[in-house]
């Protein structure tokens, strides 16, 4: 299993403060986080796209390009690229450039997005939300296949026999589709032969088993090979369960209450949070052993190939975040890889 981190580069007040950090300082910290993840041998670092004041990630490709120049081994992905409000040609060019800078470590994770600010910002009609995504996804996938392309759609100007450059270092940049809880999206990903990332941020993970089954069915119905699956979760790691919960809860509450106020949700309580970090809950918060146990529990459900952890759901102190990355890489990752290696040997035997 590949293990890694994703972030939206949250920049909210820390520990009850009144103001967030300067965005420049937060980006300095981000680079330090990515460098540490690379140095300690994690497999993936992914940056998502948001266009809101509490995030510093409206341009993931820029941040990933900076990371490409400062890392050696870690895969660098978006998480997600909100494709419905992007130009697929520019997305392809940007990530091909990251791929060249990183010598073949770029990936693209596309999705519809959990927020919609980018659509009016870039002049798109939200009534076209679904159509925009599928049309642009089809174009992006064609761009992977052909250097010179002719294309015509409804929402983007046509392309008449034009070359798209640069081409990537890899033969083809991996493109993952991120989904929430919509089976139709999982089926489409399988039917298009795309690996799928499931964002599990509430409820019980077992409820999402149908998404993996639907993804497999879509691939089988369209004669596609079975594709990889990633589980993407909110979480945090500290030396003890109590410490992890005490550090993570204020940050989680700050961010989730802000979103909840906009969407009509009640404020998050500590009781709700504590329930969510139990073995069968959605949030992966706890000691290294807690996190190992939860990853293995979920692997029994999904059989997934990748696990990504969002450690900053709201801002936490930078030194605590670096410690969380260290524990993930030094204690959680080796144990999970060893357990899954033994399982594979037993299965093969």
Looking at residue 349, what is its pLDDT? 47
| Cβ–Cβ under 8 Å, residues 11 and 315 | yes
pLDDT tens per residue across span 278-309 = 999 999 999 999 999 999 999 999 999 999 99
Looking at residue 347, what is its pLDDT? 53
Residues 6+ apart with CB under 8 A from 85: 113, 118, 119, 121, 122, 124, 132
CA distances from 27 to 32, 53, 68, 271, 297 (A): 9, 14, 14, 33, 34
Looking at residue 343, what is its pLDDT? 65
pLDDT tens per residue across span 4-38 = 999 999 999 987 778 999 999 999 999 999 999 99
This prediction's pTM: 0.95
Looking at residue 164, what is its pLDDT? 98
| Regions in the chain scoring below 50 on pLDDT | 349
Return the closest-CA partner of residue 137 out of 116, 115, 153. 153
């Amino acid at each position: 299993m590949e293990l890694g981190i994703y972030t939206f580069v949250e920049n909210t007040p820390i520990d009850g403060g009144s103001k967030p950090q300067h965005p420049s300082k937060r980006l300095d910290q981000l680079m330090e986080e990515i460098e540490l993840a690379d140095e300690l041998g994690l497999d993936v670092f992914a940056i998502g796209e948001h266009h809101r004041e509490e995030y510093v990630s409206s341009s993931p490709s820029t941040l990933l390009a900076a990371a490409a120049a400062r890392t050696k081994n870690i895969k660098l992905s978006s998480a997600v690229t909100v494709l419905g409000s992007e130009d697929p040609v520019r997305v392809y060019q940007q990530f091909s450039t990251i791929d060249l800078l990183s010598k073949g470590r770029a990936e693209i994770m596309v999705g519809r997005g959990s927020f919609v600010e980018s659509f009016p910002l870039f002049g798109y009609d939200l009534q076209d939300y679904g159509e925009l995504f599928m049309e642009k996804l089809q174009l992006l996938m064609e761009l992977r296949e052909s250097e010179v392309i002719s294309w015509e759609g409804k929402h983007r100007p046509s392309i008449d026999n034009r070359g798209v450059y640069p081409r990537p270092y890899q033969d083809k940049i991996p493109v993952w589709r991120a989904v929430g809880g919509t089976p139709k999206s999982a089926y489409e990903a399988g039917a298009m032969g795309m690996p799928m990332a499931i964002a599990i941020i509430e409820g019980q993970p077992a409820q999402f088993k149908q998404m993996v089954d639907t993804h497999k069915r879509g691939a089988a119905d369209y004669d596609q090979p079975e594709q990889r699956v990633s589980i993407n979760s909110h979480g945090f790691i500290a030396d003890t369960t109590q410490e992890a919960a005490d550090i993570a809860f204020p940050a989680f509450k700050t961010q989730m209450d802000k979103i909840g106020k906009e969407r009509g949700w009640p404020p998050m309580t500590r009781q709700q949070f504590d329930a969510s970090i139990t073995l069968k809950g959605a949030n992966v918060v706890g000691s290294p052993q807690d996190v190992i146990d939860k990853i293995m529990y979920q692997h029994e459900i999904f059989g997934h190939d990748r696990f990504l952890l969002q450690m900053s759901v709201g801002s936490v102190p930078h030194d605590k975040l670096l410690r969380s990355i260290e524990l993930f890489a030094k204690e959680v990752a080796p144990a999970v890889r060893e357990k899954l290696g033994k399982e594979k040997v037993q299965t093969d035997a």
